[in-house]
Structure 1
Amino acid sequence: MTGTPVLEPCVPLPIAERTLIDVTEKAKDWAIMHGAAMRSKTNFSSDALNFAPFILMPSSFPRKEFEKAKNLQTIINQLMHNVAHDEEFLTTTLAETVKVDEFTANLFNVYKKVLANGFGQAYSLGLLRSDYLAHMFEDNSVKQVEINTIASSFGGISTHMMPLQSFVMSELGHADKIKNMPENTALSGLCGGMIKAWEVYAQPKAVILFVIEDVSYNICDQRFHEFYIREQRPDIKVLRRTLTEVHKEGKLGPNKELLLGEYEVAVIYFRAGYEPLHYHSQDEWDARYMMECSRAIKCPSIHYHLAGTKKVQQALAQPEMLERFISDPEKIKAVGQIFTGLYSLDDSEAGNASYEMALKEPERFVLKPQREGGGNNVYGADIPDALRKMSRVERAAWILMDLIQPPISKGYMIRPGGKSPPEVVDLVSELGIFGVILGDVDNVICNYQAGHMLRTKLSTANEGGVAAGLGALDSPYLLD
């Protein structure tokens, strides 16, 4: 990445070795003691935690762009809400994708069946996260990488990154710089959305259901939400169940209420259900369908889930498309500026042109499937081979996106089992802004921006999912 601009670090680097070793040990213990932790994938035990990988000091990020992304979030919330409620748009946009992508087709079938039988609940809760990279060729302006509408994670642990790194800054004698680290309200903001949805359901004995994976590695992030809800509202109980358990224990009552044993469910928060491996058999799909038919308020409902697919993101970036969903020209312009080039690969004139363009200059692009969870994208030189292996029909399950070129920051990445002392490495950071929206097709009850997260990876790594094991948690140090 020669010639890539380097953002000024928050403190002069490198740090003297003795000081670095001491502060790293303290920071690791701080992380574990405050729950900035995960279960080990290599040595799993439900009785043990490792600290989550983190960056020792906050990574530099342009203040103007951070504020821009924050201020845009309520517009993006409303955009996704409008998209989710546009049956014709979802059907047309996903028409080719569902022919070749079995998982998206299964989700779409659930959607069509629920539409045919009537939604049990008009309200949907969106806990969204819009992810951005600063783009060095446009004065480091933020460009949207993706929008997450299901299981938008790390709101819990991210809230602890700013205090952790503030502690490190104080230890290093730079407490005066903490003022450039923004407060993070992600946990209270996201939980506030679930509590509001529970209140709208208006059944004081009803519970909130977290739908979870068979094994939860990212346990602290999930538990922070659960414990915060109980702390704020001692009258609200949270249950955790897998899709398989919901199938075994769940049923619909006479008024479409979702019943799990003795409990009526007011709100369903999906932390699983976003990838094929979460559905072991038809049972799990039946459980998803039952929940979607129920009176419980879903986060996300099936139409919100479909609105978060890459194909929808690509369609929204087409000229004039935003006008279908946003009426204010200023808002259309603001959202349009964060989109980078997104191209269809369908078997059409435009799709075939994108295909040829990707073969000719693969280093300019990323190839993305309709998947959440990280680790699925194809980059640069690997794109031509991947594309040539696909039939024209299969290509419709993927989109092509301009590669965003972020500036580099320098810092120390601290990982379980990592080197001591750690080395200064080149890093790039991806900013996630959380948003909460609750409403039905005609009426939005609440819509607000709800904190942020920063995921940082080695500049040489293509993907930076922390849960996927490639990135580290961080928080922004804002530069003017």
Structure 2
Amino acid sequence: MRSDYMLDSTCDRKYHSDYPPCDWKQVEYNTIAAGFYWLGPVSGDIHRYVFQELGYDEQLKNLPENNALAGLSESLIEAWRLYGNPEGAILFVVEKVSYNICDQRFPEFKIRELNPQVKVIRRTIDELGERSRLNQNGELVIDNLLINVIYYRIGYEPASYPTQKQWDTRLLLERSKAIKCPTIHYHLAGAKKVQQELSRPGALERFLDEKQVEMVRDIFVGLYALDINEEGEKTIEMALKNPERYVLKPQREGGGNNIYGAEIREELLRMRDSKERTAWILMDRICPPITKGYMIRPGASTLPPILEMVSELGIFGVLIGNSEEILSKKQLGHMLRTKIATANEGGVAAGDGSLDSPYLLD
């Protein structure tokens, strides 16, 4: 999983003046296909190399260690071992064409490096529909190879399931005894509606003690329901009055789906009398401090200009367990994305951002 955060600063904004300056706030929580396990750490390696080339060895201590790739790979091996079949494999469920291949292949390479005994196979959901089955014990078998662990690199958006055949394949995988990363339960737990419900008074108290509740709630911004009731109407009126203050979010993953600014008013007026609005939440907009720097791109013929930029920090973690106990839980590492300040949705994949490294100061 990956939990994403941005600094929320009172220095550069008009709203949320009751928040402390430069406080970390949660953007979202990703439980499926959370990427940049390799590109996050390797960005730090690049910056360390540049520091050394420039003779800034003393500053290397300010670049924190990042073991996200090793942590993910070790956790997948741990799940493979817990399944109890040394002949089984780890399945990566992948796209037909992956535009993030330089990040996605490295967990596979790292697994081989850490434990050559573990076999990793990659299959698309269409290939799985043709070549997978459950044996009499409910175990997943692909091409006569038993699968210990399923790691989803796709499946987080409706486009992954264009026909009933793909839905049937997902159901087959879920019904199997293989350890899933994630199960459908944890997949749905990453939905924006769940994030919004957990922010309600009394929700966190069901799971955490008082001190933990205070720490977790401190990272939340306002999250508001758009249900068809009095509460939902108040949310809509609030958003129509100050749309620039909020972000409108659907129950979607993968980026490029949120709505900002004046478009929020248009969308809310369009679906105000429809049940469609209940599939969205409204969230306070986080206004991070703006930094200035260079963004290095391939093919540039001139020196890059100095840009105004904002950053988003992702913290990787793993949880292995069943309905009765947690067997393993740990923080694995981090990644930092920096994008131009004027881009609402645009990130690394859209070409408006880059992988970056945190530089720690006292």
**Same-fold status (TM-score > 0.5):** yes
The match for 2:30 is 148
Aligned match of 1:214: 96
Secondary structure of the structure 2 residue equivalent to 1:463? coil
Shift of 1:410: 1.4
Residue 392 of structure 1, CA deviation: 3.4
3-state secondary structure, aligned to 1:142:
strand
Q: Specify the code of the residue in structure 1 equivalent to 2:93.
A: V
Shift of 1:419: 5.4
Residue type at the aligned position of 1:185: N
Counterpart residue number, 2:270 = 389
Q: Which residue of 2 aligns with 1:441?
A: 323
Gaps of 5+ in 1: 1-127
Structure 1 residue 462: Cα displacement: 0.7
Letter in 2 for 1:387: L
Aligned twin of 1:378: 259
Q: State the partner residue of 1:157.
A: 39
Q: Which amino acid aligns with 1:335?
A: V
Q: Which amino acid aligns with 2:7?
A: A
1:342 paired residue among 220, 223, 236: 223
Alignment partner of 1:135 is 2:8 = yes
Q: Which residue of 2 aligns with 1:363?
A: 244
CA distance in 2, matches of 1:264, 1:468: 38
| Cα distance in 1, alignment partners of residues 300 and 146 from structure 2 | 46
Equivalent-residue separation in structure 2 for 1:253 and 1:375 (angstroms): 40
The percent of aligned pairs where both chains have the same amino acid is: 55
Tell me: CA distance 1:165–1:464, structure 2 relative to 1, closer, same or farther (3 Å): farther
Contact 2:74–2:114 (CA<8 Å) still a contact in 1?
Answer: no
Higher normalized helix content (fraction of residues): 1
SS of residue paired to 2:65: coil
- Which residue is 2:16 aligned to? none
1:176 pairs with 2:58:
yes
Pair 1:273-2:273 in alignment: no
1:365/1:401 contact within 8 Å kept: yes
Identify unmatched segments of 5+ residues in structure 2: 11-19
Instruction: Pick closer, same or farther for the CA change 1:418–1:314 going to 2, 3 Å.
Output: farther
Partner secondary structure for residue 238 of structure 2: helix
Q: Secondary structure, in 3 states, of the residue corresponding to 1:386?
A: helix
1:80-119 matches, cutoff 5 A: none
Once the 2 structures are TM-superposed, how far is the Cα of residue 191 of structure 1 from its aligned partner?
A: 1.0
> Aligned-pair RMSD on alpha carbons?
1.1
1:168 is displaced (CA, Å) by 1.8
Amino acid at match of 1:214: K
Give the C-alpha shift of residue 239 in structure 1.
0.5
Higher relative contact order structure (alpha carbons within 8 Å, sequence separation ≥ 6) = 1
Give the letter aligned to residue 259 of structure 2. Answer: V
Q: Distance in 1 between matches of 2:138 and 2:169?
A: 14
Retained in 2: the 8 A contact 1:374–1:468?
no
Alpha-carbon offset, residue 435 of structure 1:
0.4
SS in 2 for 1:346: coil
Match of 1:461 in 2: 343
* Separation in 1, partners of 2:350, 2:85: 38
1:177-198 Cα shifts (integer Å, max 9, x gaps): 1111101010011111111100
Give how far 1:418 is off: 4.1
Q: C-alpha deviations, 1:119-140, integer Å up to 9, x for none?
A: xxxxxxxxx1000000112221
**What's the CA shift string for 1:393-423, capped at 9, x where partnerless?**
1111110000011111111111234452111
Deviation for aligned residue 1:386: 1.4
1:255 is displaced (CA, Å) by 0.4
Contact 1:455–1:464, Cα closer than 8 Å, also in 2: no
The answer to whether the Cα contact below 8 Å between 1:439 and 1:445 also exists between their aligned partners in 2 is yes
- Cα distance change on mapping 1:172 and 1:420 into 2, 3 Å: farther
- The separation in 2 between residues aligned to 1:313 and 1:263, in whole angstroms, is 38
**Superposed displacement of residue 464, structure 1:** 4.3
- Provide closer, same or farther for how the CA distance between residues 276 and 418 of structure 1 changes in structure 2, counting only shifts above 3 A: farther
- What is the distance in 1 between the residues matched to 2:254 and 2:298? 21
Q: Distance in 2 between matches of 1:419 and 1:304?
A: 46
Distance 1:466 1:199 in 2: 34
Could you tell me which amino acid in structure 2 is paired with residue 135 of structure 1? Answer: D
Answering whether residue 275 of structure 2 is matched by residue 404 of structure 1, we say no
User: Aligned partners of 1:413 and 1:381: how far apart in 2?
Assistant: 29
2-structure distance, mates of 1:376, 1:172? 41
What CA distance in whole angstroms lies between the structure 1 residues aligned with 2:279 and 2:351?
Answer: 25
Q: How many residues align?
A: 352
Question: Relative to structure 1, is the Cα distance of residues 464 and 131 closer, same or farther in structure 2, using a 3 angstrom cutoff?
Answer: farther
- 1:453 to 1:464, Cα distance in 2 relative to 1, 3 A: farther
Which amino acid in structure 2 is aligned with residue 220 of structure 1? C
C-alpha distance in structure 2 between counterparts of 1:360 and 1:417, whole Å = 44
